[in-house]
Amino acid sequence: MNLKLARDNGAATDAERRLASPLAVRGLTVSYGQKPAVFSVDMTVRAGHMTAIIGPNGAGKSTLLKAALGILKPLAGTVTVLGQPVAWRRDHIAYVPQRASVDWDFPTRVIDVVLMGMYGQLGLLGRVRPRHRAQAMDCLERVGMADFATRQIGQLSGGQQQRVFLARALAQGADLYLLDEPFAGVDAATEQAIITVLKGLRDAGKTVVAVHHDLSTVRDYFDDVFLINTQAVAEGPVETTFTQENLQTAYGGRLAGAQMDALAETLSGTSAR
C-alpha cells in the first residue's frame, strides 16, 4: 500500500529503483593492491537511457564497468541486473571492451568476431547455420562494415575495429550495452556511426552505459551522467548533474584551465538554448 503510494508520487524507494534498474551497483569496492580503485560506489542506471561514466584518468571508470560485468572480483558490494545477480542475467548484457585490450593479430576474420557474440545462442557445440551468418552480416551492416566481413581483423583501422566490436555486441542481442571508451582513438566518421547505432538502441528501449572521456560531447550524446573519482561524485540527468561544480569535484582541479573554459562555453551555451 505504502509502496504503491510512493510510486504514484514518483518517489520510488531505493529498493524499488534497484529492482527496476538494468544495472544497479551497491557499495562496490575494487582494489588491485593496497589502494582501492573503486571505493563504496552506488550507481543506479535508468532503463532506456544512455549514461556516460565520467571521471579523470585512474578514477576507476573501467574498473567499475569490469566489476559490474563480473570480469573483476570486487572486494565488497553487489551488482544486480533487473534485480538479479549479474551471473544470472548474462544473456541480457552486451559488452564492448577497450580496443587496446585484445590481440588484433589473432587469426580471425571480421565475420568470425561478430559470430563470437552469438556464443550465448550457439553454445558449446551448436552449428553455425546460414541464419546465424545472416544475423551477423546484419549486425555488420548496421555499423557500416558489411563490406569487410572476410577481412582479417588486423588489417582494419582503429575505427573499423571499434565498429566490429560494436557489431559483436549487437549480435549478443542484449538489453543492456556496456561500452568501455567506445570513441577512444576513432575517426569522426566512426564516432558518428557508433553514436547513431547507440541512439538507435536507446530509442528501441535498450539501455546504454559507456565510459566516456570527451567532456565536450557529453551533452550531445548522453541522457544521464555518472561522475566518479574512486568514489561516486554525482549521478543524474545531464541537465542537472553535468555541472561545473560536480566536474570540479570529480576532477579535483585536474581539469586544465583551457578545457574548463571550453566546457563552460558548452555548458552555458546549452542552458541558454
Partner 1 sequence: MSGSEFVPLSLVPMLIGVCVAVACALPGNFLLLRRQALIGDAISHVVLPGIVVAFLLTGIVASLPMLLGAAGAALVAVAAIEAIRRLGKIEPGAAMGVVFTTMFAGGVLLLEMSDTSAVHLDVEHALYGNLESLIWLDATGWSSLWDPQALAYLPVELPRMAGALGLVALFIAVFWRPLKISTFDEGFARTMGMQTGPLGLALVVVAAIAAVAAFDAVGSIIVIAMFICPPAAARLMTNRLETQVAWSVVFATVAAVAGYVLAGYGPLWLGAADSVSAAGMIATVSGVLVAGAALMGPARR
By CB under 8 A, name the one of 75, 100, 102, 262 that touches partner 1: 102
By CB under 8 A, name the one of 18, 46, 61, 66 that touches partner 1: 66
One character per residue 135-154, x = contact with partner 1 (rule: CB under 8 A): -----------------x-x
Q: Which is nearer to partner 1, 83 or 120 (CB)?
A: 120
Q: What share of the chain is helix, strand, coil (3-state, %, to 5)?
A: 45, 20, 30
Query: First and final CA of the chain: distance in angstroms?
Result: 42
The CA–CA distances, whole Å, from 27 to 35, 76, 155, 175 equal 16, 7, 43, 24
3-state secondary structure 165-228: HHHHHHHCCCCEEEEECCCCCCCHHHHHHHHHHHHHHHHCCCEEEEECCCHHHHHHHCCEEEEE
269 binds partner 1 (CB under 8 A): no
116 binds partner 1 (CB under 8 A): yes
Cell numbers that stand for 13 in this block: 524507494
16 binds partner 1 (CB under 8 A): no
By CB under 8 A, name the one of 43, 113, 166, 186 that touches partner 1: 113
Q: Which is nearer to partner 1, 17 or 129 (CB)?
A: 129
101 binds partner 1 (CB under 8 A): yes
CA distance 169 to 163: 10
Residues at the interface with partner 1 (CB under 8 A): 66, 69-71, 87, 90, 93, 95, 97, 101-103, 106-109, 112-113, 116, 119-120, 122, 124-125, 152, 154, 168
